[in-house]
Every structure is written in C-alpha cells, then in structure tokens.
C-alpha cells in the first residue's frame, strides 16, 4: 500500500493528533520537532502540558471534535483511549490515513522490535524480556502500553541498534498498517473490553493485527495449546513458534526447557511463581532467544526477576492467612488464572473482586471458586452482577470499602488460606487506577496486621 505522504518528509504536512494522554502528547512533540503542522485535539477543555505543547508550535483544539479538523488533515494519529468518533469515520471516508502512535513510531525505528500483546500477562512478559536484554548488555527500551510511549524510543541507542520491547494493547493495534515486529508475541486471548468492541470476534481481530505486517524472516510466538492464537499467527507470514505444553519452550519434568537451545532452569529456581507466571517465563525466554539475547542473560534473569507491583504480589501474612495483590487482574480471565494458581495448595482462596464492569460473563469465576474457593467478598459497581453467580458456590459478602473487604475476607479465611485481590473488573468506579486500588488493599492488609 502506498502512503499518501512520505512519512520521512514531514515538513509542512498538516497532522492531527487526537487524544492528549501520554502517547498523544509524545506524538505531537515528535511530529512538531520534524516540521509537521500539528493540531492536537481532545474532548476535554484542559489537558496536561498544554503550555509545553503550545511552546513547541502545536495548535490546541480542545473541548470537542470538529469534523473539519479531521477531514482536512493529511494524517491523523489516534490515541488508544479515544472512543469511536463520527469525525474519525468522516476522515476515513475522505481517505485520510489514521494511525496509532505505535504505527507512527515503528516507521522510525531501526532496532530489533519485540511486541507483546494478550489479554493477560503482557506487562510482566514485556518487563521480563527487557530485563533479559539489559542483562545481556544490549541497549534496551521498554515501553508502549506499559508506560513510556513507543515514540520515545526513536533516536535512542535502543531504537537505532538495540532491543525495543513494547507492550501493545488491542486499542493500539486497531490502527496499524506497517507495524512490523521482528518478534510478535500473543500470550492469550479471553473476553475483555467488550464495552469497547461489538463482540469478542472484534477484540480477537484487533489482537491478531500484531502479525499482519510480518514477513518470512520474522517470528510469531503463541501458546501451543490455544487454537485461536495459533490461527491468528498462522494467518501471517512469519515463522510460528510455540510455548507451553508441547511447545518449543515448556515446563517439563519440573524444569523450564527450551528444546531448540538446550536451556534448562528448575521451576523452583524461577523468580516468578505460579502457573500463569511459569507460562510468562516460557514466553519471555522464547521471545528473547528469537530476538538474539544470549542464553546466559535469559537464564540469569529467569532466576532473579521479581515481577511488577500489583501482579500476584505477596503482601504479607496475618495469623497464617497470606494476602496476595493481583489488582492488575482487571478481567475475568486474569482473575481465574490467579485463582487457579493456588489450586492444590494447603489452603483455599478467599477472593476479593469487583469494580467497574467491562462486559462479558463472570461464570468462569464460579467454576474456579467451586474447587479452590473458601469465599468471596465483593466491592464496587459490578458486585451485584458477580454475586448472583457465586452465592450458591461459596459464602459471599458485599462490602463498601477495601478496608471492610479485607477484614471480611480475613474473617472468612482459615489458617493456611489465601486472601486474593483479583478484581476481574477495572478500577475506575472507586479508584484512579489498578495501582491505586492495589495500594489501598496493601494498606488495609498492613493495618489488619498491626491491629
């Protein structure tokens, strides 16, 4: 496909950046620095760093979405948090190219790009691969949906000759054309963001875009036992590699084993614990090897990397009840994986769940708790939706605050049990973010222990 503009020659080109979160602001600065005539649009009346944008020569168009702004642009860079807009549809009908920030960034990157997506685990795997690159002494950038916008890798040592590790979301992948990772990783797909997509198929298709521009010299990494992920990878042109049961890199005889390289690490030596994290370790090790990271660095990172906050983070123990913070489990699939990670343990799980509903069924929670659960305590707007499906499986209580929920969960638990915050919902009914929610949980646990 021929672009209507030469992206390497931006001087004087009118570009509209829509959505002024972190990635939108970074894109606007990047484009302005290269001579584009940049207008930055947001539905809000005020945005962060407005003065800095104006000083960089960016024209601010705030408080709505004027269709004329969209149709007269020669390129639109659309931030992932922007919902469907009639103005975007009009621009598309007029033939204006519409890209995500990761698509824009990818046109200027020369290093080895490893992109990771999936419903669950992508932040952990992104951070783990980046840590492997660092351990190998490779100039390494980690970002994308994880935090630092991908556009900020452009011009760095990592962006020019090193390793670029990017977490990418379905929202970011909706608007890609030539985004071409050397290694593209799809960890899993389960129901999520059905408040954004018309149906599950639309969400799956967005995830599959990670493979769309890959060529025969590139690599697609997917779980060996997931036919949906395999099908998406096989529809592309890249060589397909698998992890998990019967995969190139799998857990076998108590060891993480790479059938191709000969790498072996005992499971008990892995720094990340639990079944989901064993798979995350397999995926990261496979992707890093395909990206050219030496085995010694992969091995050392697997036994030293301790994970990210609010992702199966052990908070503490009170009277032989252990508390885990998995506030990042913002969908049902992630919550179920967290619960199942304690199956076969000494005790059972008391689940704290709830928040802002994202669509989809909570039935899988019922199935997971039927065998592993001791009880559940529900908070937030979705509490009633979840309660009806669990009440005949385990004792269920509803509480108004996190402090009350932690106390109630502790009272339901028995010595040897686990109290697990795995909300299966987003945080935005009660909190600024999943991290804010996790911090509140940890504060409540500490207060309980001190009482």
pLDDT digits (tens, 9 = 90+) for 366-422: 999 998 999 999 999 999 999 988 988 999 999 999 999 999 999 999 999 999 999
* Average pLDDT score over the chain: 94
- pLDDT higher than threshold 70 for residue 2: no
What percent of the chain lies above the pLDDT cut of 90? Answer: 86
Q: What is the mean pLDDT of residues 184-198?
A: 81
The two most distant CA atoms of the chain are separated, in Å, by 68
CA 293 to chain centre: 23
What percent of the chain lies above the pLDDT cut of 70? Answer: 97
pLDDT at 3: 62
Q: Give the pTM.
A: 0.82
Mean pLDDT lowest among 63-67, 218-222, 294-298, 391-395 = 391-395
- Token couple for 439: 């911090």
Percent composition of the chain: helix, strand, coil (DSSP 3-state, to 5): 35, 20, 40
* pLDDT tens digit sequence for 300-344: 999 999 877 898 888 999 999 999 999 999 989 889 988 988 887
* Alpha-carbon distances, residue 399 vs 174, 251, 408 (angstroms): 38, 40, 8
pLDDT at 194: 64
pLDDT at 142: 97
Is residue 316 within 8 A of residue 445, CB to CB? The reply is yes
* pLDDT tens digit sequence for 137-154: 999 999 999 889 999 999
Which of the four pLDDT bands, split at 50, 70 and 90, describes residue 360? confident
Q: What is the mean pLDDT of residues 221-244?
A: 97
pLDDT at 195: 66
- pLDDT higher than threshold 80 for residue 94: yes
Higher pLDDT, 308 or 430: 430
pLDDT at 307: 78
pLDDT at 191: 73
Q: How many residues does the chain have?
A: 451
- Judge residue 250's burial from the number of C-beta atoms within 10 Å of its C-beta, 0-12 exposed, 13-18 middle, 19 or more buried: buried
- How wide is the angle at C-alpha 339 spanned by C-alphas 333 and 344, nearest 5°? 135
Q: What is the mean pLDDT of residues 241-255?
A: 96
Q: What is the mean pLDDT of residues 52-73?
A: 97
Q: Alpha-carbon distance 242 to 248, whole Å?
A: 6
Q: Alpha-carbon distance 375 to 381, whole Å?
A: 19
Residues labelled as active-site residues:
122, 145, 193
Which of the four pLDDT bands, split at 50, 70 and 90, describes residue 213? very high
Domains of the chain, each with CATH number or no CATH: 14-96 (3.40.50.720), 108-302 (3.40.1190.10), 313-450 (3.90.190.20)
């Amino acid at each position: 496909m021929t672009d209507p503009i030469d992206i390497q020659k931006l001087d004087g080109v009118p570009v509209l950046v829509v959505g002024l979160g972190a990635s939108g602001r970074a894109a606007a600065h990047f484009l302005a620095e290269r001579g584009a005539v940049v207008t930055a649009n947001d539905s809000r009346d005020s945005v962060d760093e407005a003065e800095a944008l104006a000083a960089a020569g960016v024209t601010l168009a705030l408080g709505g979405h004027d269709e004329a702004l969209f149709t007269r642009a020669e390129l639109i860079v659309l931030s992932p948090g922007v919902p469907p807009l009639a103005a975007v549809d009009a621009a598309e009908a007029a033939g204006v190219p519409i890209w995500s920030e990761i698509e824009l960034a990818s046109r200027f990157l020369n290093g080895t790009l490893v992109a990771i997506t999936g419903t669950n685990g992508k932040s952990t795997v992104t951070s783990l691969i980046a840590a492997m690159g660092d351990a190998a002494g490779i100039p390494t950038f980690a970002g994308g949906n994880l935090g630092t916008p991908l556009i900020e890798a452009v011009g760095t040592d990592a962006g020019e000759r090193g390793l670029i590790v990017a977490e990418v979301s379905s929202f970011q992948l909706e608007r890609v054309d030539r985004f071409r990772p050397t290694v593209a990783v799809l960890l899993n797909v389960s129901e999520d963001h059905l408040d954004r997509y018309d149906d599950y198929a639309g969400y799956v298709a967005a995830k599959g875009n990670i493979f769309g521009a890959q060529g025969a010299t590139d690599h697609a990494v997917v779980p060996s036992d997931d036919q949906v992920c395999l099908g998406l990878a096989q529809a592309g042109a890249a060589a397909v590699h698998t992890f998990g049961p019967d995969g190139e890199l799998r857990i076998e005889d108590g060891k993480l084993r790479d059938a191709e390289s000969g790498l072996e690490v005992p499971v008990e030596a892995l720094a990340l614990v639990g079944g989901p994290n064993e798979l995350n370790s397999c995926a990261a090790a496979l992707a890093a090897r395909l990206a050219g990271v030496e085995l010694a660095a992969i091995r050392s990172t697997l036994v030293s990397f301790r994970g990210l906050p609010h992702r199966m983070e052990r908070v503490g123990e009170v009277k032989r009840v252990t508390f885990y913070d998995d506030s990042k489990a913002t969908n049902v699939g992630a919550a179920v994986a967290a619960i199942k990670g304690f199956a076969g343990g000494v005790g059972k799980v008391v689940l704290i769940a709830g928040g802002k509903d994202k669509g989809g069924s909570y039935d899988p929670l019922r199935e997971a708790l039927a065998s592993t659960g001791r009880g559940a305590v529900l908070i937030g707007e979705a509490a009633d939706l979840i309660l009806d499906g669990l009440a005949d499986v385990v004792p269920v209580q509803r509480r108004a605050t996190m402090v009350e929920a932690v106390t109630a969960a502790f009272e339901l638990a028995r010595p040897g049990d686990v109290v697990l915050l795995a909300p299966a919902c987003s945080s935005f009914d009660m909190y600024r973010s999943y991290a804010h929610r996790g911090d509140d949980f940890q504060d409540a646990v500490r207060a309980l222990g001190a009482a």
